[in-house]
Amino acid sequence: MYIQVRLLKGFSEPLTYEVPQDWGAQNLIGQLVRVPIKTQLRSALVLKQFANLPSNNTFTIRQAHAIEPFPSDPHYTKFITLLSNYYQVESLHFVKRVQQFLVEKEMDEQVAGIEPLEERKKIILTDEQQKAVDFLAPYLENPTFIATVLHGVTGSGKTEVYKQLIEKNFMLHKNSLLLLPEVSLAIQFETLMRSQLRSDIPIFGFHSATPTKQKRLLWHALLTSQPIVIIGVHLPILLPLPNLGLIIIDEEHEIGYQEKKHPKVNSKEAAIWRAHIHNIPILLGSATPSLTSLYNVKTKGWHFFQLKNRFAGQFPKVKTVLLNDKRQRRNFWISKPLEDAMKDRLQKKEQTIIFLNRRGYSFFVQCKNCSFIFSCNNCSVSLTLHSDNKLTCHYCSFCTTVPSQCPACKQGESQFIKKGIGTQQVVSILEKLLPQARIARADMDTTLKKKEWQKTIEDFHAGNLDILVGTQTITKGYHFPNVTLVGVLWADLNLHFPVYNAAETTLQQLIQVAGRAGRQREESLVIIQTMIEHPIFSFLNEIDYVKFFNHEIEKRKEISYPPFIRLVEIELKHMHESTVDNEAIQLMTILLDAYEAINPDMMILGPAKPPVHKIKNTHARKIYIKGSSIQEIIALFHSVNRTRFRSQIFFTPNPVS
């Protein structure tokens, strides 16, 4: 018996080895083995297995040394093959990724553990919670693939449902996988689960902040098939998982489930296939379920449960204010109703969150005289102005001082308009309007300084601050009991982002932000300031959110976007703009020549410069394919011989950002 293997590290040519007699007749494909290379032993993945050497073989064949212990997941190879086909990368990529990650040093990601941790208390589920648990429990005992969406308004107790199911699954000696859309949330959940689940349930994080020792312990638990809980973002789904019995995806609507780097694996999608292959239940929870999941409930027999009530507190009142109605205003960015509401909170010693989805001092700097905009030479994005009169790039951290005249028309600095607004500027405005208030900001700029961020959040939690100004980072997972006012400064900003799902993601974000108000209070208010009117503002009420589905789904159908069709993004990348430009056109031509033979209904768009088309001196172009079947799109992509291109070419189904 012989095997063909690929080294995990080192050259990529397949190598052939003889299988020692005493390994028996087992199937080795997909397993890791140790093989001799010169005088060393190296790890390699088995690609093929065959009984006889090809007759033209001219090499001396050495014997493989040993099989590396590998968790016994009978579905693993099938799953990895499926991923490899879907993202058009080699299976080896995924196996390698996990192996390398297991030995990598962790990143310092510790976020504030400010939640006063509740002791493990005896929970009596509400009827709504109990209904969801009772529905799913039988599928743990008699494993069956079943996908369920749990629409639970903010503060409704989705986590209690997860906890019950995980404990039941553990009692059946099976593994549970809990995925969150970002590392900071995964860390919060690990802490929460450790304090609240039965103490004999082993809980493992598996993400970039997990210490190497923990990762090894996790691997050991998998090798010995112990029942455990694994919490993470992207990586846990790539693990071989013996006895997998349950997958839970929290905040399932989040675009964070799609990896930022190629191949842009969407761990939520991968989890759904995995549940399918393992024939187990998967639960997708959110206060704002994705349109696609709701569509699957309508069309694919997915199940749907709702938690319509908050466990504590009441829903906030939501009020929309148009910013271009400038009456009685002291500052353009703070409407009269928002200013009054903030003053009222100050008087009552209650807290306010002001949300702005922007970082830095303001947007960009533009010359009034000639319209010149300062932009980054490396990245083709506008530079952001900071209060120290520095212009910086958000992608490559290029930094320069604002010049005294316009580089294009030589007019003086007085002609510069400093458009837009950032959190730092909001703080300055608020300090002028409300001199008695204690104000701080927490956004991406300041989160880079972890200690400061932690202190700010702790101060706000402890009531030492009246107003917190922040970006997305403050909307996720935190509970501030004394917050009774949330102001969204510029609610339509992200609506203008050039992606097809901008309305959906903007609405989801607004609801999540609004959900920060009134967690433990009877009366709270959310003020949404906007430049333009838009239909999404009529769906801000959490219960009404699902009605947005009917509104938006019609639009998607009209303009042919997911979930009605399959959308695939092909990205080309190269150092030289002319190369990527020419090759994008070549690739486009190949696709246009080939698609009719596969399915004339397919549509090919592009090539286009993405909004950010140059990052760290690499140029990018994108081509989009729309079609009714992913297999047909893959077949079309196969008419492209990637090795003939100098650009790197990446294939991303269902791009979400």
Q: What totals of helices (H) and strands (E) does the chain contain, helices first?
A: 16, 28
- Tell me which of 31, 159, 505, 508 binds ligand ADP, using CB under 6 A: 159
* Position among 130, 378, 405, 648 found at the interface with Zn ion (CB under 5 A): 378
Q: Which of 30, 143, 152, 240 binds ligand ADP (CB under 6 A)?
A: 152
Distance CA 596, CA 599 (A): 5
SS (H, E, C) 614-636: EECCEEEEEEEEEECCHHHHHHH
**Under 8 Å between Cβ of 604 and 588:** yes
Residue nearer to ligand ADP on the CB measure, 335 or 524: 524
According to CB under 5 A, which one of 379, 426, 483, 489 is a site residue for Zn ion? 379
**Residue 391 in contact with Zn ion, rule: CB under 5 A:** no
Complete edge-to-edge strand list for the sheet that includes strand 317-322: 317-322, 525-530, 483-488, 351-355, 467-470, 439-442
Query: Per CB under 6 A, which region of 150-158, 267-275, 329-337, 609-617 contacts ligand ADP?
Result: 150-158
Nearest residue (CB) to ligand ADP, 160 versus 443: 160
Part in contact with ligand ADP (CB under 6 A); list of ranges 149-157, 182-190, 587-595, 621-629: 149-157
Q: Nearer Cβ to ligand ADP, position 116 or 498?
A: 116
Residue 150 Cβ vs ligand ADP, minimum distance, rounded to whole Å: 9
For residue 156 the two structure tokens come to 């409704």
Could you give the 3-state DSSP secondary structure of residue 82? helix
396 near Zn ion, rule: CB under 5 A:
yes
* Pairing outcome for strands 66-67 and 32-37: antiparallel
At 353 the three-state DSSP class reads strand
Choose one: 76-84, 140-148, 294-302, 386-394; the region binding Zn ion (CB under 5 A): 386-394
Q: What is the amino acid identity at position 288? A: T
Instruction: Give Cα 381 to chain centroid, integer Å.
Output: 23
When the beta carbons of 64 and 193 are compared against ligand ADP, the nearer one is: 193
* Mode of pairing for the β-strands spanning 483-488 and 351-355: parallel
Count CA within 13 A, CB hemisphere, residue 414.
0
Considering only the stretches 22-30, 181-189, 345-353, 397-405, report the one whose residues sit in contact with Zn ion under the rule CB under 5 A: 397-405
* For ligand ADP, the closer CB: 222 or 540: 540
Quote the tokens at residue 429.
């405005």
Site stretch for ligand ADP (CB under 6 A), options 153-161, 356-364, 520-528, 610-618? 153-161
CA 27 to chain centre: 36
C-beta of 268 vs 566, nearer to ligand ADP: 268
Task: For residues 497 and 303, give the distance between their C-alpha atoms in angstroms, rounded to a whole number.
Answer: 32
CA atoms within 13 A on the CB side of 568: 27
Contact between 624 and Zn ion per CB under 5 A:
no
Q: Which residue is it, tokens 């008419």?
A: 639
Considering only 157-165, 369-377, 537-545, 625-633, which stretch makes contact with Zn ion by CB under 5 A?
A: 369-377
Among 148, 156, 335, 351, binds ligand ADP (CB under 6 A): 156
Q: For ligand ADP, which residue of 157, 232, 242, 487 counts as binding (CB under 6 A)?
A: 157
Place of tokens 């082993």: 202
Place of tokens 């300090």: 431
Query: How many CB atoms lie under 10 A from the CB of residue 338?
Result: 24
Report, in angstroms and rounded to the nearest whole number, the Rg of the chain calculated over CA atoms: 27
Pick the binder of ligand ADP from 37, 41, 107, 123 (CB under 6 A). Answer: 123
Tokens encoding 139: 């599928």
Q: Does 154 sit near ligand ADP (CB under 6 A)?
A: yes
Helix (H) or strand (E) holding 608: strand 603-608
- Does 398 bind Zn ion (CB under 5 A)? Our answer is yes
396 touches, from ligand ADP, Zn ion, none (C-beta below 5 to 8 Å by class) = Zn ion
Answer yes or no: are the C-beta atoms of 490 and 332 closer than 8 Å.
Answer: no
| Binders of ligand ADP in range 303-362 (CB under 6 A) | 311-312
Residue 310 CB, nearest approach to ligand ADP (Å): 8
CB of 314 to ligand ADP, least distance (A): 13
Q: Which residues bind Zn ion (CB under 5 A)?
A: 376, 378-379, 393, 395-396, 398
Q: Which residues bind ligand ADP (CB under 6 A)?
A: 123-126, 129, 152, 154-160, 311-312
